[in-house]
Amino acid sequence: MVVSDTAEKIKKMEIRGAGRIARAAVAALMDHAASATARDAASFRNEMREAAALLQGTRPTAVSLPNAIHRVMRSLEGDTPTVQELRDHFIVACRNFISSSEAAIERIGAIGAGHIQEGDTLLTHCNSEAALACLIAAQRKGISFEVYATEVRPGNQGLLTLKTLNEARIPTIYIVDSAVRSVMREVDRVIVGADAVTVNGAVVNKIGTSQIALAAHERKVSMMVAAETYKFAPRTILGEFIRIEERGPEEVLPAALAKKLPYVRVKNPVFDVTPPEYIDLIVTEEGAIPPQMAYIILRDYLGWSTGDFGGNSPGATENFDV
């Protein structure tokens, strides 16, 4: 697909969910590389940088997006004599990213299923393919359980979750977001995905996740997060915050109605931050870890350290210098 089309789809949330956004961006870069017209390596790199910047500017919160782009853009580093070689190298990197991302979901499903027990009642929020992979893998293992799925105002991503759970024949109860605390006494564990995981183990996910975590904490219900390691945010090592996306007011209040309410203003943050104290486990493709181990994932599995961020270093997630 053309890069600008993919960028538009991500912006409009026709392509959504942190993992899908990352794979779609990399697939678009791969197509772009295949059809790039540049005649020399330097112009090819420039063309790819421009495309990468366009994609990266689409949604600010999902760290999977800059991390994925950074990973494939890194393959353009070094001395490669011809455009064709550079292109081939880049396309292989893109294919590798996409297949490793898919494999990560499968592995997370297998690990997460090990934490779901016969007769459990789970609760999930938004639409996370990593969280759903755990539920589907548990179902395939023959474990019987039921799931509360939230509506997810204002985007209604809960409907996508219902569809997937129904297709997998998993008994599901649909609730409005504000019913979470009322049903929490019947819940054994909460399972959600992540758009970003910070170095101290805080999880950024769909708005409402932190309220769910609070309600779970109050009732000592286990809070599990399913997240591929490329959702861990390297720049939080420096104390940098994850930017929380705010979307337009019309997603919450129709414009025609808003016009009649001149004293009313809408605030529409679409993600929130759950502190590590309210999270029991983060299930990654490298294993299930307590949130306090997030730094170990960044340092030992992903190879980041504070020294990677100086000046023009390739460590900067928004830096396409190659």
Residue 126 corresponds to which tokens in the numbers above? 């938004």
Tell me how far, at minimum, the Cβ of 119 lies from ligand RUB, in Å: 25
- The widest CA-to-CA distance across the chain, in whole angstroms, is 64
The answer to whether 140 and 219 are in contact (CB under 8 A) is: no
Residue 195 falls in the annotated catalytic set: yes
Residues 233-262 that bind ligand RUB (CB under 6 A): none
205 binds ligand RUB (CB under 6 A): yes
- Residue 58 as a binder of ligand RUB (CB under 6 A): the answer is no
Spot the catalytic one: 195, 280, 300, 321: 195
Residue 126 catalytic?
yes
Alpha helices in 141-261 (DSSP H): 158-167, 180-183, 209-218, 255-259
Q: Which of residues 2-31 bind ligand RUB (CB under 6 A)?
A: 16-20
Distance CA 321, CA 14 (A): 30
Residue 207 CB, shortest distance to ligand RUB, in Å, is 8
Contacts of ligand RUB in 152-181 (CB under 6 A): 155, 157
Cα distances from 180 to residues 17, 44, 97, 220, in angstroms, run 22, 51, 36, 14
- Compute and round to an integer the Cα radius of gyration of the chain: 20
Rounded CA-CA distance 159/152 in Å is 9
Minimum CB–partner distance for residue 62 and ligand RUB (Å): 6
Place of tokens 């019913």: 179
Q: Is 111 one of the binding residues for ligand RUB (CB under 6 A)?
A: no
Q: Is 128 in the site for ligand RUB (CB under 6 A)?
A: yes
Q: Interface residues with ligand RUB (CB under 6 A)?
A: 16-20, 62, 126, 128-130, 155, 157, 193-195, 205-206, 270
Q: Which residues form the catalytic set?
A: 126, 195
